[in-house]
Amino acid sequence: MYKLLITEKKNFDLDKFFDDYLESPNIFKDRNALDSSHIPENLPHRYEQIKAIAEITVVTLRNGIPSNLFIYGKTGTGKTAVIKHISKKLTNKCKRINNMACPNWIYINSNRVKSGYRVLATICNRLNPDDPVPPTGLPRDVLLDKLVNRLDENYGNSICFVVLDEIDCLRSKKSKDSILYLLSRINEILKKSKVILVGISNTLNFKDDLDPRVKSSLCEEELVFPAYKADEIYDILKERTKIALHEDIVTEGALRLISAFAARENGDARRALALLRKSAEFVERRNLKKLDVNLIYEAQDQLDSDKIVHFIRDLPIQQKMILIAVYLNQKFDPENSTNTGEIYNTYKELVKQSYNLNCLTRRRMTDLIKELDLAGIFESKVVSFGRKGGRTRVVDLIIEDAQIIKSFEDDSYWSELLQYIPSSVRRTDLNVYDGNLYRRLFE
DNA sequence: GATCCACAGGAAATTAAGGGTC
DNA sequence: GACCCTTAATTTCCTGTGGATC
């Protein structure tokens, strides 16, 4: 018999907690300076790229029309920061010149604004927020007319830079209908103003599949942002530390370690900043005086774990169901990979357990499995097992069971599903006690 | 070398939801 | 209110495929 040990806990004193926080030393000068969206005055190791883009865009100061620009480089290499930095400087310069029409800079993250209609609508709304266009419903040619009118009538002879970040998300099979084709031709319709496209991509081979006309138009000028090296990330962190933290909080060794971690992850400066911020928050919360190296390891683990847990919690319901199907198949047969056929069988059983969920087709399920593969939750590959097994996709879960359990621990519906035993493992030679599986040793 | 398995995955069609226009 | 338009998610249909087995 077990005795339940419950120690009586006092109520959490929120007022005292707030007072303690206010009395503790503030290690941050400007916390936001460690945010990836913060654009500093100085962007170390990007001078060449800044110079190249400045040379392309400077013609706007003499009412010239710059070329379209295509930028590529891996995540966290400063592409967006450099563009935003230049747009700010160029706009400020234009404002200081009399009778100078300032160029418009419209920044769109194509990962959030994915369809052609939405891109046009977003540009329309940024040009004239007082008269928003509907998020859906208008024929595309009507929307295009509205955009052309707003550009020509409201902005006269000025230039409008349209920055399409993560432009890969806008690629369309029907090249003539694609938004990129349309935007690359819009200057042929415009009478007064001009649109300059700035495409930003994380993938080097993005332009290979583009329609040749879009490619020649979009890639008039091209620029590569190389990944940062550890020393370069160190310099970036040093600059930001000066702005963000009080002196003597972070040692050189700590910055070097964070730089090395980030350099290992494709030279991602964004990751380095996140790690520095997390580590500094540990220092603050624990009332410490310095950033210890051990805290960086702890912050690194937590960043990885948090990222996965949040990602799983935000998944659509059907993808959660598929994730649990894979988890259960591997839980009861950890030695072998599971395949789409087995996953689909377990998935169908899980769907039957729920009240309001429709069962997707296998075709759709394979697409969702591929999405989870891309997200780094699964590792899958297509394998042929010949005449008996056919050709199928084998799937392995590459995150830890504990991360899945943690993701669902606050929701009884999902945590109960994690205890489900698929019919494929309810064999005669297996018995289940308390949710654990035992092989029957004798009859 | 032919056959067969169990899908993979492309493409087009369908459905649902949100909205505009007349 | 009927009809038209959009997006996004999903289904349906179909051809293709790798490799063990015949």
**Cα–Cα distance for residue pair A212/A175, rounded to 1 Å:** 10
Name all protein residues with C-beta less than 7 A from any atom of nucleic acid chain C.
A 114-118, 136-140, 316, 318, 358-361, 363-364, 367-368, 384-388, 390-391
Q: How far is the CA of A216 from the C1' of C7 (A)?
A: 29
pTM: 0.79
pLDDT of residue A260: 93
Q: Which residues contact A40 (CB under 8 A, 6 or more apart)?
A: A33, A239, A240, A243
Task: List the single protein residue with the shortest CA to C1' distance from C20.
Answer: A386
Residue A144: count of CB within 10 angstroms of its CB: 18
Q: Which residues contact A59 (CB under 8 A, 6 or more apart)?
A: A65, A66
Q: How far is the CA of A363 from the C1' of B11 (A)?
A: 13
Domains annotated on chain A, with CATH: 46-224 (3.40.50.300), 229-312 (1.10.8.60), 316-439 (1.10.10.10)
| DSSP track, A315-381 | S-HHHHHHHHHHHHHHHH-TTS-EEHHHHHHHHHHHHHHSSS-PPPPHHHHHHHHHHHHHTTSEEEE
**Cα–Cα distance for residue pair A358/A11, rounded to 1 Å:** 44
Please choose, from the candidates A294, A299, A267, the residue with its C-alpha nearest in 3D space to the C-alpha of residue A281: A299
**Cα–Cα distance for residue pair A271/A232, rounded to 1 Å:** 14
Average pLDDT, chain A: 84
3-state DSSP assignment of residue A107: strand
pLDDT of residue A435: 46
**Which positions of chain C lie under 7 Å from any protein Cβ?**
4-8, 10-13, 16-22
pLDDT digits (tens, 9 = 90+) for A177-208: 577 878 888 888 888 889 999 999 887 767 76
pLDDT digits (tens, 9 = 90+) for A272-306: 999 999 999 988 888 888 888 889 999 988 888 88
pLDDT bracket for residue A441 (50, 70, 90):
very low
Quick one: tokens of A149?
Answer: 């009118």
Lowest mean pLDDT among A168-177, A279-288, A327-336: A168-177
**Cα–Cα distance for residue pair A156/A249, rounded to 1 Å:** 52
